[in-house]
Structure 1
Amino acid sequence: MKSKLLALVGLLLFAFCVSAQHVFLVSLVSKDTTYFINEPQRFLSAKAIARRQKFSIPISENDFPLSKLFIGLLQQNGYEPITQSKWLNAIVVKATSKRAGDTLKQFAGVKEVKYLGVQKPIQTNPMEQADINEMLRVLDAKFENKEKLLADTIRYGKAWNQVEMLNVHTLHKQGYEGNNVLVAVLDAGFNNVHKLPVFKKLFDENRIVTTVDFVQKDSMVFEDDDHGMAVLSCMAGNINGEFVGTAPQASYALLRSEYARTEMPIEEIYWAEAIEFADSMGADIVNSSLGYNEFDDASFNHVYKDLNGKKSIISQAASLAVSKGMVVVVSAGNEGDEDWRFVSVPADVAEVITVGAVSPDGYLAAFSSIGPTADKRIKPNVVAQGDNVWVASTHGVFYQGDGTSYACPLLTGAIACLMQAHPSKNPIQIMEAIHQSANRYDKPNVFYGYGIPDMELAHRLLSQDSIQKFSVIDAKVLGDKKIHVAFYAMQPTKVSVILRDELEQIVYKDDVAVKRKGVHRIGFKKSNKLKKGIYSLQILTKEHTYTQTINLH
């Protein structure tokens, strides 16, 4: 019996070796194509071209598709193309021998060949779904005893706290719910999205623009992993009085770039191809609750020095995506309480908005990955609720989940609303407003970044172009218990703040020198040492005086 088992094991190992598919990334020297910069309509959508024109972004050769002739040549020589990146001018192929890489290097026009390991077979059957009924019963019982919601919060149901934390409901009240903004969601699958009531309005109103599976090269994304479904619910969920996400009226492109059963380097190229597609079809903003630092084959793992925003393939693609005019929002990662601790890639990219996680009360979630990057930049950029987040399940009910995967889409949806209100603002302007609106802007750190953004304040910050004089945008006490003032200055000036108590006695005074024109956000030192009470706040420049009541509590 034992000898038969050993023979069977040997046979299986032999079969695996024979059928093993070795994967290579082939980088090319140039784009040998028949495309031209003055004919972008041949390879970009009208919406993608319009975005470039709006932000004065030139069409470049990295927008060209890869050479079909070269791809055909690879196929003729026995190499099977798997995926590709036009921005990185590279194609991924597989072959039955690891030595095939040496032959690939001999092809004319090949710049570099990189081995990506052995590709495991991709299963086409749906992911097994966890039995969460008991967990749902417990969570629903807890929710029954939640405090009563105020009249203007009833619409959001279970999602109220995670929406209110970002103050995005104030944008919704002004009619900014993501209308006419296209959000590309890159994830591992969107199981059952087409059947769940929480997404019904998306289909009724034709706001699922496209679905593409870059792993299996088809359009079927509803039978795969359910991670993307839960992520999507944070933004697009819309059942009045039960659950409403942060961008209930946006349009969505659902793009599968992750094979959840494995962790392989090729998934970074799937991601690159997906975000290139998002650009080509004219997406305005990208949500990616995916990140990479460890792989099934540890020899491909990233190391800390890779976190410079430029080393990894996925980070290069993310940076290029922003350069094309898209806002890119990514999760920080969930390794904050593990040995790795740091953000994953592409969360290390300077131009992307990296989102960490906090509890419902605004305290850092232990699992939220931290910075700094290898080149000592602040990451994450900001934080949103990622602990006890209400999300949809494939069963059609809601449960509480944890992860920066959920903090990320909550902010992405909020930014989509901001982009509806300010369609002329480019990704860097959007990111700066998000930073300036956050509650730790004056003192960012590697745990919270700039803190929790305030979308109403970001909206007001972005509205200052029409102001032709010094103006106070916002003055209030934030989480650090200090008085924070946001204002717009037309020129360098001195700003004074005076605080008087109920007896009109001056209890605090400070001066700040403003050295440039534009929006500024400052926190007044030592103002957190004042006693609780009602105060009169006066903000003065040489030409202007602003007064308001402020409550220190």
Structure 2
Amino acid sequence: MKILISGLLLVLTLSSMAQQKYWVYLKDKDTTGYNPYTFFDQKAIDRRIRNNIPVYHISDVPVNQHYVSVLDSKCDSVSYASRWFNAVCLYATNEQIADISQLEFVTKIEVSGAIPTLCSYEGGEVAPYTNSVLETQVTSMQGQMFHNAGYRGDGVRVAIFDGGFPKVDELDCFKHIRDNNRIIKTYDFAKKTENVYHGSSHGTTVLSCIAGMANDSTPIGLATNAEFLLARTEIGLEPFSEEENWLAALEWADQNGADIVNSSLGYTVHRYFPFDMDGQTAFVSRAANTAASKGILVVNAAGNEGTDKDWKIIGAPADADSILSIGGVQPFTLTHINFSSYGPTADGRLKPNVCAFGQVEAHGKKKMGTHYGTSFASPLVAGFAACALQTDPEMSTWDLFQEIQHSGSLYPYYDYAHGYGIPQASYFLGVDTDTLNPEIHFKINSDSIEIEVFPLSGDAPEVHYVFVHLTDPDGKILWYKVITSYENPVMRISRDEIAEAQYLRVHYAGLTKEFKLKN
């Protein structure tokens, strides 16, 4: 039998005794004895029913253990067996993998080898925290409206994938979670144990951005009453394992009833190229799309490649179509923070979807501090999503995904830095918070189009920025800008600049206005 060994040319220069990691795909499964009602947590069953997903599906059946045993006897070691992909991850030499490729139940072999990056920017606690940012990282999403209405993520189960959660079992920041037994399960996919309270403190900070409480009982994130599954997937100095761990954690989270997954990992230059960021090529992006097909909302950091001229765009799995990808904004302007990765995807789709603070006040292993990165914007939105789901527990995950986009502060305007803006609680609560009554005017000249807005920032209670983009007939953004609004016209666009454009769209202070440039 001739088996396709994808990517094998990457390792042919190695000696025949050198080990490489592979995914070996299998032809079928043994369904004997499989019962989804005993295999899955009840919340996983409920999620499938809520999303009109079959409770019994062949992709949920575990891998045939006979096949695993045969592979184990022919390789150095088996690392993981994925039920979703019906594939086994293993270590083997070139000679061993050539032998394995001849097995009649093997359909395809891929080389494994991506290394992730935690989407924190110059990670760590870089300054004492200030209440001004702590409060606004919540109020920027109108989180206080959720809390005042009694929505704090009750009954919603959130899985967090990260590099470790040291001191979560001790810190006062999480006492309310521990006292109510809301850490449902934990697992370290690197060490194969249930203890996750070690390793990188990044996960500790991320959890605080979802559900932590500051020393004065001020909420750091929104979902203070949610339930949690904590997975350690990132292992720092050990290469080529995290992509496998990420998939394993997704399947574990699915089995244990996660409604939402927050991930702060990005996979970029260590294996992939910018043109691979199409939502279909990267292994983790395919895994993320599978999770979405199971009714899980995956919330992932957009990445911190915004200043990297050699990459700059969204990384995997944030490029996946059904994943809520989160960009970062500055706390005091609510505009793009420089390191946050830009969209679109390699195939031209809108990313990021929405955004939140890329500079946050959150709890580390020892104390509160200032932290930077889209990996902290992501959990802010994950906490928001938990509260949004609580407002309508029967809402499908796809509807939740769409409604979070529609709640964005810029919607229906969008761009490749901010997506649809910062999610707003008032949208889910049916509350109208617009009080400014802004106006946008287009003035057509022979050689240009002028944009005017009213009231100008100098005449309004607060500063508002003007967001402008031009799109082609297919909706692809040709360019976009963010400008101040102190003097009219706020922008003059020449006829040459709009030659290829179909639409001019402007967003100002909650109002979006569109001008059709061509019939």
Compute the TM-score of the two structures, normalised by the length of structure 1: 0.72
Q: Identical aligned pairs, as a percentage?
A: 35
Please identify, of 69-78 and 301-310, the stretch whose mean Cα deviation from structure 2 is larger.
Answer: 69-78
TM-superposed deviation, 1:166: 0.8
Q: Superposed, which structure 2 residues align to 1:140-219 within 5 Å?
A: 143=130, 159-219=134-194
The CA distance in 1 between the partners of 2:238 and 2:72, in whole Å, is 26
Aligned to 1:354: 325
Q: Does 1:372 align with 2:368?
A: no
Q: Deviations over 1:489-537 (max 9, x none)?
A: xxxxxxxxxx9xxxxxxxxxxxxxxxxxxxxxxxxxxxx9999xxxxxx
> 3-state SS of the aligned residue for 2:230?
strand
The CA distance in 2 between the partners of 1:184 and 1:226, in whole Å, is 16
Alignment CA distance shift 1:324-1:117 (3 Å)? closer
> 3-state SS of the aligned residue for 2:248?
helix
TM-superposed deviation, 1:196: 1.3
The CA distance in 2 between the partners of 1:393 and 1:530, in whole Å, is 43
Q: Is the 8 A contact 1:199 1:237 kept in 2?
A: yes
The CA distance in 1 between the partners of 2:394 and 2:84, in whole Å, is 25
Alignment CA distance shift 1:17-1:375 (3 Å)? closer
TM-superposed deviation, 1:423: 0.6
Aligned to 1:490: none
Q: Counterpart of 2:101 in structure 1: which amino acid?
A: K
Alignment CA distance shift 1:178-1:551 (3 Å)? closer
The CA distance in 2 between the partners of 1:118 and 1:318, in whole Å, is 15
Q: Counterpart of 1:228 in structure 2: which amino acid?
A: G
Q: Is the 8 A contact 2:342 2:417 kept in 1?
A: yes
Aligned to 1:84: 81
Q: Superposed, which structure 2 residues align to 1:389-468 within 5 Å?
A: 389-395=360-366, 397-460=367-430
Q: Counterpart of 1:207 in structure 2: which amino acid?
A: R
> 3-state SS of the aligned residue for 1:238?
coil
The CA distance in 2 between the partners of 1:200 and 1:460, in whole Å, is 33
Q: Superposed, which structure 2 residues align to 1:231-242 within 5 Å?
A: 231-239=206-214, 241-242=216-217
Alignment CA distance shift 1:254-1:117 (3 Å)? closer
Aligned to 1:331: 301
* Higher share of residues assigned helix: 1
The CA distance in 2 between the partners of 1:551 and 1:451, in whole Å, is 11
TM-superposed deviation, 1:117: 5.3
Q: Deviations over 1:100-125 (max 9, x none)?
A: 21111112211111223599xxxxxx
- Aligned-residue RMSD, C-alpha: 3.0
TM-superposed deviation, 1:77: 3.0
Q: Is the 8 A contact 1:104 1:113 kept in 2?
A: no
> 3-state SS of the aligned residue for 1:161?
helix
Aligned to 1:383: 355
> 3-state SS of the aligned residue for 2:94?
coil
Residue among 25, 34, 53 paired with 1:27? 25
Alignment CA distance shift 1:210-1:17 (3 Å)? farther
Task: Name which one, 1 or 2, has greater alpha-carbon Rg.
Answer: 1
Query: How many residue pairs are counted as aligned between the two chains?
Result: 426
Identify unmatched segments of 5+ residues in structure 2: 1-13, 116-121, 441-453, 455-484, 489-508, 512-519
Identify unmatched segments of 5+ residues in structure 1: 1-15, 120-129, 148-157, 296-300, 462-472, 484-498, 500-527, 532-549
TM-superposed deviation, 1:79: 3.6
Aligned to 1:114: 110
TM-superposed deviation, 1:241: 2.3
Residue among 249, 255, 258 paired with 2:225? 249
Q: Deviations over 1:299-324 (max 9, x none)?
A: xx211221221111111111111111
Alignment CA distance shift 1:453-1:477 (3 Å)? farther
TM-superposed deviation, 1:551: 12
Residue among 302, 313, 316 paired with 1:342? 313
Q: Deviations over 1:30-76 (max 9, x none)?
A: 2234255xx31142222211211122111310011111111122223
TM-superposed deviation, 1:28: 1.1
The CA distance in 2 between the partners of 1:358 and 1:31, in whole Å, is 46
Bigger relative contact order, structure 1 or 2, given CA contacts below 8 A and separation 6+?
2
The CA distance in 2 between the partners of 1:131 and 1:117, in whole Å, is 24
The CA distance in 2 between the partners of 1:345 and 1:303, in whole Å, is 10
